[in-house]
Amino acid sequence: MTTAPMPDFPPGFRWGVSTSAYQIEGAVTAHGRGASIWDTFAHSPGRIADGSTGDDACDHYHRYAEDVGLLAGLGVSAYRFSIAWPRVQPTGAGAANPAGLDFYDRLVDALLDAGVDPVATLFHWDLPQALEDAGGWLHRDTAARFAEYADLTAARLGDRVKLWITLNEPFIHMSLGHAMGVHAPGRALLFGAFPVAHHQLLGHGLAVAALRSRTTSPVAIANNYSPVRLAGDSDAHRAAGEAYDALHNRLFTDPLLGLGYPEGTDLDPGLVRDGDLAAIAAPIDVLGVNYYNPTGVRAAEEGSPLPFEMVPLDRYPRTAFDWPVAPDGLRELLLQLHHRYGDALPPIQVTESGCAYDDEPDADGRVHDPERIAYLDGHVRAVREAIDAGVPVTGYFVWSLLDNWEWSEGFTKRFGLVHVDYGTQRRTPKSSYAWFRDLVRR
Supply the residues annotated as catalytic. 169, 352
Mention every residue, 6+ apart, whose C-beta is less than 8 A from residue 380.
6, 396, 439
137 is in an annotated binding site: no
Contact 293, 225 (CB under 8 A): no
168 is in an annotated binding site: yes
292 is in an annotated binding site: yes
The candidate with the shortest Cα–Cα distance to 206, out of 187, 188, 223, 219, is 219
**HEC states along 99-132?**
HHHHHHHHHHHHHHHCCCEEEEEEECCCCEHHHH
R_g of the chain computed on alpha carbons: 21
406 is in an annotated binding site: yes
Q: How many CB atoms sit inside 10 A of residue 329's CB?
A: 24
399 is in an annotated binding site: yes
Q: Where are the beta strands (DSSP E) in 117-262?
A: 117-123, 163-168, 219-225, 228-230
- d(C-alpha 353, C-alpha 439), whole Å: 15
Mention every residue, 6+ apart, whose C-beta is less than 8 A from residue 76.
15, 16, 17, 116, 440
200 is in an annotated binding site: no
290 is in an annotated binding site: no
Contact 373, 431 (CB under 8 A): yes
For the chain, the first-to-last Cα distance in angstroms comes to 18
CA 31 to chain centre: 26
Per the annotation, where are the binding residues for substrate? 23, 124, 168, 292, 399, 406-407
